[in-house]
Every structure is written in structure tokens, then in C-alpha cells.
Structure 1
Amino acid sequence: MQIKEFYGVIGSDYQKVFARLCSNAIITKFVKAFLQDESYCNFISEYKKGNLEDAFRAVHMFKGLCLNLGFENLSQSSIEITKALRGGKNDVTPQMIEKLTKDYNFVVENIKNIDD
């Protein structure tokens, strides 16, 4: 699939991303590089260990990456968790983690279908 089609499949606005990055090649490069980012895994790992400060830092970084790449649903999931961890509190629910994981896996699987 082409990069523009990818954004349609994941329910995001390709035109907003294109306006920011101005090139299909650059967008494709950054989207594919997302597969190498460890923020999501770091968040899950740190949260499970109870390291809320490190979990917050990881999910906050992840949120910024998702916002920059225009992954709208994944951004929203990470924003909710960021808010739930802000200020040292832990208002994260299992449903929030489940939604984040579902949205993350959906984006990752679709990135794998992008043509080179």
C-alpha cells in the first residue's frame, strides 16, 4: 500500500502530515522508522514494574512521536494515559492499556504493509 492509503486505513489525515513534512518519501521514512522506536515497549515495561515516573516519561515521548506522525487514534490513546500519569498519580485503567496496545498493534501491522 502507498503512504497516503496507509493514513486512510488507520483513520488519520494524510494531508495534515504532508503539510508538515512536505514529501511522501520523508513521511514514509519516518513512518517506517516508527517500528524501531522503543517508547511503547518502554512504557509497558516501566508501568508493569511500577516505575510511574519512567512510565510517564516513555508514554509522553510516545505521545509526541504519534502526534508528529499524525497517528490520530494512537495519539489519543497515549494522551489519555499521559493525563492519567501526570503529576505522579496513577489513574491508568486496564482498559486504557488495552486500547493503547490495540491501537499500537493496528498501526504497526499497517506500517508493515507500506510499499517501499
Structure 2
Amino acid sequence: MSVMEMSYRGKEFLSIIHKTKSDLRALFDVPSEYAVLFLQGGAITQFASVPLNLCNPDDSVDYIVTGPWGDKAFKEAVKFRKPTMIWSGKSEKYRKIPDFDALEQNPSAKYLHI
């Protein structure tokens, strides 16, 4: 049986997950006051993780939207922070990218997402 077929409540799986958490704590020196989490999710989960982990709720962040996935990233950031879309190629069906020097970036933005 593979780990994917095991019950997450089963003794075998619990043994694997506890060992994995222990190994990750040691490898990355994770302090005991932090939890090690295994979460499902793909790109959209990461789009939420970036603003949640890189800045505070009132911090500003800048987004350059060059495609549909960038648009999804911006929409996800809106849920958690105060992003500013400094450029979007949506009206031109994402067929070009901006001249970087012409963009009005916020000098206090915590990050620029492209």
C-alpha cells in the first residue's frame, strides 16, 4: 500500500507524518512554538501565502499583471492586503508587457509581484 492509500488516522500514516515533521523541524530549525503544516493547494494557495507571509495587513504591495494567473494573484491579494495594480495587460489580451521604467511604483511597497 502506498502512503496515498493510507488512512490519515492510521498508525502507519501517523508514524510517517510525525517522522516527517520531526525531520523538517530539524532541517529548517523550526522553533517549538511554530506548527509544521501540510496543506493542500496549488497556485491559488500560493497567491494567498505570499501576501500573508511577506507583509502586514496595512502594508502596500504593487502588482504588474501580465496574464490570467497574475490577475488571479492580484484578486487573491485583495482579500488579505492592500495591493495596487500598477499595470495590467488585460485590456490588450496580455499581448505585451510594460516598459518597466515607465511604471509608477510605490517606494514603500513591501514587494512587487510580476
Give 1 or 2: higher strand fraction: 2
The one of the two structures with greater contact order (alpha-carbon pairs below 8 A, sep at least 6) is 1
| Larger Cα-atom Rg | 2
Note whether the superposition's TM-score is higher than 0.5.
no
TM-score (norm 1): 0.23
Give 1 or 2: higher helix fraction: 1
TM-score (norm 2): 0.24
